[in-house]
Amino acid sequence: MNEPRTVDFFFDVGSPYSYLAATQLDGLTARTGAAVRWRPFLLGGVFKATGNEMPARVPAKARYMVADLERWASHYDQPFRFPTRFPLNTLRPQRALTAVAMADEGAVRAFALALFRGYWVDDRDISADDEIRSIAHGCDLDGDHVVAATGDPAVKDRLRAETDDAVARGAFGAPTFFLGATMYWGNDRLLLLEQDLAS
């Protein structure tokens, strides 16, 4: 195949494994030539639709997860600090990302990486309008406009539709990748995704 292939990357900035995966996507595109569509969805909506639950519901799993996340961050040589507010209601940042995606899909990547970093490295409360505005501004976006757009019914509808689309294709968690009809769940499946892109 010589045509560039496109990977759908469904993510929620409240998901730590989404953060870890997001840090690896520039490398993935550089090595494989694939394009990545950054598609914000609402993980809470996915859990509700599928009957899945956050892994941290099981105390032993939550304890392991913190160690596992630190290990992956070190493996990737990426900064990571478990935030003081967790879990976070990510409805507002996910709507802000959706608003940006509707205006200019190419602008989502930088804004998402900045939100991820705000939450998973700098311990900022990215559910707050002030933080969303400031992070948007740092990405050369109109922060006031982005925050205002989170109240736009078309933005709310789009975020719901993206979430529904992911669920209809089989998603039950985050991050979730699709290459055509093939689904890859989790940061740890990037390995298999990259193999499939190389084949």
Catalytic residues: 15
Q: Which of 102, 142, 189, 197 binds a second copy (CB under 8 A)?
A: 189
Residue with smaller CB distance to a second copy, 80 or 119:
80
* First and final C-alpha spacing in the chain: 9
User: Residues 58-97 vs a second copy: string with x where CB under 8 A?
Assistant: xxxx-xx--xx--xx--x----------------------
Using CB under 8 A as the binding rule, whether residue 172 contacts a second copy is answered as yes
Residue with smaller CB distance to a second copy, 155 or 183:
183
Q: What is the DSSP letter of 134?
A: H
Q: How far is the CB of 172 from a second copy (least distance, A)?
A: 4
Contact 29, 81 (CB under 8 A): no
| Cα 157 from Cα 76, distance rounded (Å) | 35
Provide the H-helix boundaries in the chain: 16-22, 25-32, 43-50, 59-76, 91-103, 108-120, 129-138, 143-149, 153-168, 190-198
Chain residues that interact with a second copy, rule: CB under 8 A? 50-52, 57-61, 63-64, 67-68, 71-72, 75, 167, 170-173, 182-183, 185-186, 188-189, 191-192, 195
